[in-house]
Amino acid sequence: MQGQHASTPGPSRVAARLADSVLAIALAASLSTVALAAPALLAGCGSGTTDSDMPLDFSVLSGEAAEAPPLQRFVARDGTALGYRHYPADSPTKLVLLHGSGSHSRYFAGVANAVAESGAAEVFTPDLRGHGARPARRGDIDYIDQLEDDVADLIAHIRERSSDVTTGAPQDTTILVGGHSSGGGLALRFAGSPHADEASGYLLLAPFLKHDAPTTRANSGGWAKPKVPRIVFLSILNGFGVRSLNDLIVIEFDMPEIARDGTETLAYSFRLNTGYAPRDYEKDLAAITSANAPLLVIIGDEDEAFVAEAFPEVIEAHAPRGRVEILPGESHLGLVVGEAVRSPIVAWIEEQGRAPSAATHHY
C-alpha cells in the first residue's frame, strides 16, 4: 500500500469520515438551510423514470481502439500537457467532441473518422483532465471550472495550429463544440460559460442535463452510484465558500469487467463531478439561443440512461431554434459507435457552412 499501514487511513479517508460525521450534525442542525440551498439535489433522490433496471450495454464499445489515432498534446493554462486525438480534414470547421463519464476519447474513433473523411469538419477529441491512460489524478481536477477552461485552451491550440504556415496569420475558423452523455453536459456548460464566444455551435449526443431533469432515467441506466448526502453537504459548504473538501469522492460507476482495460475512471471527486455537468441546463440552453448559435441534439430511442421522447419538449422550451433527432434502435453507447448517427452529424455541419447567418467567429 505504498508504505502506508492498512490500519492507518490516509488523509482522504480521514477527511471523508470527518465529512460524513459532520454531515449528520449539519443536516440535523441546518435542515432549513439544506432545503433552501440544495432543493434540487434533495428532490433528485428517486427522481426520473422507473427504468433503472436497463443497464448500459458496454459490449458495443469493443473494437473501437483499433481505429483511434495516437494521442497528441496541448498545454493548458496551468502548464499541464493534456491529450487529444486528431482526425484531419481540409475544412475550416473544427469539431471538438467531449467524451462521457468513466471513459476517454478513444470510443469516438468511428464517428470522428467518418466526419473527417466526409470533409465536413476536422475533428478533435480530448481525453478530459482526470481521465485516460495516465492522468495526473484520476477522477479529480483542481477546481470546479477547470474542465471548461481546458476546452477553451484546446480551442486556442486548434486556432493556433490552423494559422497560415507561411505568415502565421490566423485563418477563418469555425469551432463547433459537442459531446456525448456527460460530455454533452460539459458542452452545454461551456455554452453558458465566459468562454461561450469561442464556439459557433453545439452538438449534443444523448446529453446529461441534470439528475432530476425530465430527460434523465433513475440512476442513469443503473451504473451511476452517487453519494447524495455527501453531495448535499459539499454543496452547502461551497455555498459558504468552503472548498477544502471538494476532492472527496461523490459518485462511483459500476462499469462491467468486460468494458475495463485499466484506462477507465470509476469514481469522481465533487469538483470534477460538478464541473462535468451544466451549471443550469435551462439557462445554458437559453444562452445558445441568445447567441444565435445552432444546436443539434441526437439521441437513440432505446437509450438506457435518458428518456429520448422527453428531449423535444425540453429543447423547445429553452432553445426553440434547436433541433432534436431521435434515432430508432440506438442505445446510449450504441448511438456514438454505430453508423446511423454519422449522416445526421455530417449533414448538420454542412448545413452550418451554408448558413452565413448562423453564429460564426473568424479570427
Domain containing residue 121: CATH number: 3.40.50.1820
Q: Which of 13-22, 71-80, 249-258 has the lowest mean pLDDT?
A: 13-22
Residue 362 located in a structural domain: no
In eight-state DSSP terms, residue 296 is E
Q: Which of 48-52, 170-174, 206-210, 262-266 has the lowest mean pLDDT?
A: 48-52
Residues 147-195: pLDDT tens digits?
Answer: 999 999 999 999 998 865 555 656 788 999 999 999 999 999 999 999 9
Residue 5 located in a structural domain: no
Q: Is the pLDDT of residue 38 over 60?
A: no
Residue 31, pLDDT score: 39
Mean pLDDT across the stretch 315-326? 97
Residue 281, pLDDT score: 98
Residue 250, pLDDT score: 98
When comparing pLDDT for 218 and 164, which is higher? 218
Mean pLDDT across the stretch 263-279? 97
In eight-state DSSP terms, residue 216 is B
Number of independent structural domains in the chain: 1
When comparing pLDDT for 259 and 363, which is higher? 259
Residue 61, pLDDT score: 79
Residue 2 located in a structural domain: no
Give the angle 180-317-321 at the CA atoms, nearest 5°.
70
Separation in Å, CA 130 to CA 25, 97, 263, 267, 341: 32, 16, 11, 10, 28
Give the angle 42-244-146 at the CA atoms, nearest 5°.
80
Residue 325, pLDDT score: 98
Residue 22, pLDDT score: 58
Which residues form the domain of 87?
11-353
CA gap 128, 126 in Å, rounded: 6
Residue 135 located in a structural domain: yes
Residue 1 located in a structural domain: no
pTM, rounded to two decimals? 0.85
Q: Is the pLDDT of residue 130 over 70?
A: yes
Residues 308-318: pLDDT tens digits?
Answer: 999 999 999 99
C-alpha cell at 107: 470510443
* CA 132 to chain CA mean position, Å: 14
Q: How confident is the model at residue 23 (pLDDT cuts 50, 70, 90)?
A: low
CA gap 71, 74 in Å, rounded: 10
Residue 258, pLDDT score: 86
- Beta-bridge partner residues of 72: 84
Report the share of the chain in percent with pLDDT over 70.
79
Q: Is the pLDDT of residue 7 over 50?
A: no
Q: How confident is the model at residue 299 (pLDDT cuts 50, 70, 90)?
A: very high
Residue 360 located in a structural domain: no
Mean pLDDT across the stretch 91-103? 96
Q: Is the pLDDT of residue 223 over 80?
A: yes
Residues 338-357: pLDDT tens digits?
Answer: 999 999 999 999 998 776 54
Residue 48, pLDDT score: 44
Residue 125 located in a structural domain: yes
CA gap 196, 210 in Å, rounded: 20
Q: How confident is the model at residue 6 (pLDDT cuts 50, 70, 90)?
A: very low
Q: Is the pLDDT of residue 106 over 80?
A: yes
Cβ atoms 327, 298 nearer than 8 A: yes
Q: Is the pLDDT of residue 19 over 70?
A: no
Q: Is the pLDDT of residue 293 over 80?
A: yes
Q: Is the pLDDT of residue 29 over 60?
A: no
Residue 4 located in a structural domain: no
